[in-house]
Amino acid sequence: MDDKTRTFLETLQPKICVLATASKEGKPHCAVMGFALFSDGTLVFSTHTNSRKWQHLQENKNVSTTIGWDFHGLNLQVDGVASLIDKGESLQQTAKEFFQINPDAAKFRSPDTYFIKIRPTWIRKTDLSLTPPDIEESNLV
């Protein structure tokens, strides 16, 4: 991930995006989510086990997210592969780091809060502050 993209993700406020999942049959679902960018470049989201996205990710680990809402700045599209963090020491460490990076999300925390880690496989960066807009795509696999 390049420095401009990393800085954008680290400084964006509020840290929200749209996360899209699909069932094994291909039925789509999207939701506005809080996110955190971890130091290793993974995107992390919190959710609950009764959510559609959690159920979809049991069957289909492919996801897509859109980050940025500005017609005068940077916007990202990110495709990736999800891993579910739902037990053990990894859950505790992920929760600690996630809520340090995105403290606004703590008000949604409950005993069944778990995490989705996304390893990006493709990024499309669109900078609408430039004329013409600068569009870059990167395959990360």
Sequential pLDDT tens for the chain (141 residues): 788 889 999 999 999 999 999 999 999 999 999 999 999 889 999 998 899 999 999 999 999 999 998 888 899 999 999 999 988 888 999 999 999 999 988 998 988 899 999 999 999 999 999 999 999 999 988
- At residue 57's C-alpha, the angle toward residues 92 and 87, to 5°, is 20
**What is the distance between the alpha carbons of residues 13 and 137, in angstroms, rounded to a whole number?**
24
Q: Which amino acid is at 61?
A: K
Q: Rounded CA gap, 43 and 35, in Å?
A: 7
Residue whose C-alpha is closest to residue 96's, from 36, 140, 41, 54: 36
Q: How many C-alpha atoms does 95 have within 13 Å on its Cβ side?
A: 19
Quick check: pTM over 0.75? yes
Domain boundaries, the chain: 3-139
The Cα–Cα gap between 36 and 9 comes to 8
CATH fold of the domain at 3-139: Pnp Oxidase; Chain A (2.30.110)
